[in-house]
Amino acid sequence: MIIKGLRATSYAKAFFLNGLATALIALVAIEVNNYLNKYKDGMDPFYRGCITFISAFTIAVIIYSILYLVFGFGGGMLASNNTNTGFFDSYTTQIKTVPSTKNKK
């Protein structure tokens, strides 16, 4: 996490970060749709909508990942003050706590 002071530990910070994520995703989706309307006039509206949806979903995953890396965003509406040090820490913690499946004699 690069910026530690803006973690979503209060309602104001959580709403700010969620608003930032939503605005960035909406911006990209609108721009993709405007681009397709302007330069792809003969395109079927269904395909244009599909392309807009796929690009917005892809950008949403990328933006949420970037916000997680920069701000630690994504821990829920109110995240705990405990921060993970890496991107996959929550997954490695789960892997380490799985009991051994070796046969015991």
Residues 10-65 pLDDT 10s: 778 888 888 999 999 999 999 999 999 888 888 888 998 899 999 999 999 999 88
Q: What is the pTM of this model?
A: 0.64
In a domain, 103, yes or no: no
End-to-end Cα, the chain, rounded Å: 45
Name, in order, each residue with C-beta under 8 angstroms of 55's C-beta and a sequence gap of 6 or more: 28, 29, 32
Cα dihedral 85, 91, 96, 97 sign: positive
In a domain, 5, yes or no: no
Enclosing domain of residue 68: 11-96
In a domain, 52, yes or no: yes
Specify the number of domains making up the chain: 1
In a domain, 62, yes or no: yes
